């Protein structure tokens, strides 16, 4: 049997409830695992071992007293280092916030605590979540557990790699253009980006506020459902959070088994798609046909504009959101500035990395008077057309099937050209522009042993159905039970 650190939440919760296992034992196993593999993986920016063990002891005490909190009681969960945890470092993997400690909890953090979770460690990511490989972290890159010479994807690479390497039982990330789904695909785990507005962004370091969503990474669709249930729901502290009934997502998995109507967007299977990934996704589509699902080709005609639209809107919003890092209120402050303007310049020049600066410059440009109409306003109009494409497709089908990424995990250092890096997101960013839910589920391996992800895209706020469709595939395939070879040596 695989180590404790490779078990699902479902299994561990049953063992904790039956007192076959204590939260302290489980947390010790995860910490020991993290210590064994971290020199090779480097998924964490930091972790506080004694704090995690203290939380675990409290969980055991609650359970012994019959006061267990909820669906995640005693489960060690790691958070991407853009999600605030009171009194813990919060760096966004940036020099700008290298010494920042959060004074408060994000809403998702409060909810995980209320569900009994043990919050363990700050997970590495691309600086301010800008990137697709985690190489833009100001601190260090993270390695892919399936091949440590390759990237784990990004920007939530630490969240995906830690889970795949057994350094957490589940994790949270954030997804602005694919940052949960793409690293999930690269690392062979499940990653869910919820509908915009389903999960509160309060306490998430803002990148592009109209696109950002927090979501779970998990070993199985069932575990992702449990996590989503714990973190979803209206929050008066986030004005874009939606008032919507939260169903029991985990229970919904065992409900209706379809058959569903599934759409294959033809624009997502064109040039640039790795043939092994295309073949694996075709096999998954055949599986759904075999379940009795009606599968039909659909068209999302504005897909070709997704990348351009995204890199205008996301950079515009980033340039505005990142204006707050001025070296005065918090974050890095340059020494020796001659006046206040110089202080702004120097603090930002020293605090931000190259990709963040590139985006601030681009975003400031597209918002500037004279160019606003030509770029930003036009991008907003195209965004509406992109969303309409999806909504029109949903007149015919329940969900869409695509590859998550056109390519498998690439080598560390391989993509030095920013445009080559941006192309990694072609299949994921439409979902953010349209505000839809999307999930990446493992659907096989390349001949070289690299994981492949299948993306399922659902209708707004129909996560229960989306998870059920994903679960129908997962229950008949054993991909999630495979672990990187690292497992045996750790």
Which residues are marked as active site? 80, 155, 179
Taking only Cα atoms into account, the Rg of the chain, rounded to an integer number of angstroms, comes to 21
Say if CB 204 and CB 212 are below 8 A apart: yes
First to last CA, the chain: 15
Contact segment (CB under 6 A) with ligand GLN among 128-136, 239-247, 338-346, 365-373 equals 128-136
Q: Give 81's Cβ-side CA count (13 Å radius).
A: 36
DSSP secondary structure code for residue 260 in this structure: P
Beta carbon nearer to ligand GLN, 63 or 359: 359
Using rule CB under 6 A, residue 315 touches ligand GLN: no
Q: At its nearest, how many Å lie between ligand GLN and the CB of residue 215?
A: 11
C-alpha to C-alpha distances, 476 to 341, 376, 470, nearest whole angstrom: 61, 45, 11
Q: At its nearest, how many Å lie between ligand GLN and the CB of residue 306?
A: 12
Q: At its nearest, how many Å lie between ligand GLN and the CB of residue 132?
A: 4
Among 121, 152, 177, 351, which residue interacts with ligand GLN (rule: CB under 6 A)? Answer: 177
> How far apart, in whole angstroms, are the C-alpha atoms of residue 243 and residue 310?
27
Applying the rule CB under 6 A, the residues between 61 and 100 that interact with ligand GLN are: none
Using rule CB under 6 A, residue 147 touches ligand GLN: no
Task: Report which of 477, 456, 464 is spatially closest to residue 184, judged by C-alpha positions.
Answer: 456
Beta carbon nearer to ligand GLN, 124 or 155: 155
Give the tokens for residue 254. Answer: 């065992």
Among 130, 151, 170, 253, which residue interacts with ligand GLN (rule: CB under 6 A)? Answer: 130
Applying the rule CB under 6 A, the residues between 178 and 207 that interact with ligand GLN are: 178-179, 207
Among 155, 321, 455, 480, which residue interacts with ligand GLN (rule: CB under 6 A)? Answer: 155
Neighbours of 54 (CB within 10 A): 14
Q: At its nearest, how many Å lie between ligand GLN and the CB of residue 156?
A: 7
Using rule CB under 6 A, residue 131 touches ligand GLN: yes
Residue 45, classed as helix, strand or coil, is strand
Beta carbon nearer to ligand GLN, 184 or 298: 184
Among 71, 109, 176, 346, which residue interacts with ligand GLN (rule: CB under 6 A)? Answer: 176
Task: Report which of 214, 127, 113, 209 is spatially closest to residue 173, judged by C-alpha positions.
Answer: 214
Q: At its nearest, how many Å lie between ligand GLN and the CB of residue 78?
A: 17
Contact segment (CB under 6 A) with ligand GLN among 21-29, 116-124, 170-178, 330-338 equals 170-178
> How far apart, in whole angstroms, are the C-alpha atoms of residue 216 and residue 213?
10
Binding mask 262-301 toward ligand GLN (x if CB under 6 A, else -) reads ----------------------------------------
Torsion sign over Cα 385, 363, 438, 481: positive
Residue 128 falls in which region: left (phi positive, over 0), alpha (psi -120 to 50) or beta: left
Using rule CB under 6 A, residue 425 touches ligand GLN: yes
Using rule CB under 6 A, residue 175 touches ligand GLN: yes
Q: What are phi and psi of 469, to 5 degrees?
A: -65, -45
Using rule CB under 6 A, residue 129 touches ligand GLN: yes
Beta carbon nearer to ligand GLN, 178 or 216: 178
Neighbours of 22 (CB within 10 A): 18
Q: Residue with structure tokens 């953010």?
A: 432
Residue 9, classed as helix, strand or coil, is helix
Question: Contact residues for ligand GLN (CB under 6 A)?
Answer: 129-132, 155, 175-179, 207, 314, 425
């Amino acid at each position: 049997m695989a180590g404790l650190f490779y078990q699902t939440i479902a299994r561990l919760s049953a063992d904790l409830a039956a007192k076959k296992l204590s939260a302290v034992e489980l947390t010790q196993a995860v910490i020991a695992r993290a210590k064994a593999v971290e020199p090779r993986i480097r998924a964490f920016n930091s972790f506080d071992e004694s704090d995690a063990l203290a939380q675990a002891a409290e969980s055991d005490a609650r359970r012994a007293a019959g006061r267990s909190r909820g669906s995640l009681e005693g489960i060690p969960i790691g958070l991407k280092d853009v999600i605030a945890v009171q009194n813990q470092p919060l760096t966004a993997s940036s020099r700008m916030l290298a010494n920042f400690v959060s004074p408060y909890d994000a809403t998702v953090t409060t909810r995980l605590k209320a569900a009994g979770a043990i919050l363990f460690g700050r997970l590495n990511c691309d600086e301010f979540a800008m990137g697709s490989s985690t190489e833009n972290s100001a601190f260090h890159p993270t390695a892919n557990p399936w091949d440590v010479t390759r990237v784990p994807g990004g920007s939530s690479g630490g969240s995906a790699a830690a889970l795949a390497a057994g350094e957490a039982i589940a994790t949270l990330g954030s997804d602005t253009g694919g940052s949960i789904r793409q690293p999930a695909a690269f690392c062979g785990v499940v990653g869910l980006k919820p509908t915009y507005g389903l999960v509160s962004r309060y306490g998430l370091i803002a990148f592009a506020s109209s696109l950002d969503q927090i979501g779970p990474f998990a070993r199985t669709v069932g575990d992702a459902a449990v996590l989503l249930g714990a973190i979803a729901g209206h929050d008066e502290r986030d004005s874009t959070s939606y008032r919507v009934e939260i169903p029991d997502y985990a229970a919904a998995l065992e409900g209706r088994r379809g058959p569903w109507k599934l759409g294959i967007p033809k624009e997502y299977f064109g040039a640039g798609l790795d043939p092994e990934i295309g073949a694996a996704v075709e096999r998954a589509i055949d599986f759904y046909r075999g379940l009795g699902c009606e599968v039909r080709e659909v068209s999302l005609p504005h897909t070709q504009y997704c990348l351009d639209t995204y890199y205008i809107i996301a950079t515009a919003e980033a340039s505005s959101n990142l204006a707050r890092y001025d070296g005065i209120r918090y974050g890095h402050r340059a020494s020796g500035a001659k006046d206040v303007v110089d202080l702004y310049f120097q603090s930002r020049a020293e605090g931000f990395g190259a990709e963040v600066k590139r985006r601030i410059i681009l975003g400031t440009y597209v918002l500037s008077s004279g160019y606003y109409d030509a770029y930003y306003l036009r991008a907003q109009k195209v965004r509406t057309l992109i969303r309409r494409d999806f909504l029109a497709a949903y007149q015919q089908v329940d969900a869409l099937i695509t590859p998550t990424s056109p390519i498998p995990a690439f080598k560390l250092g391989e993509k030095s050209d920013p445009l080559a890096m941006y192309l990694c997101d072609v299949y994921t960013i439409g979902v953010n522009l349209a505000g839809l839910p999307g999930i990446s589920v493992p659907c096989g391996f390349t001949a070289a042993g690299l994981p492949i992800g299948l993306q399922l895209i659902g209708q707004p706020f129909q996560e229960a159905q989306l998870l059920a469709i994903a679960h129908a595939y997962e229950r008949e395939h054993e991909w999630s039970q495979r672990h990187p070879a690292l497992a045996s040596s750790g």
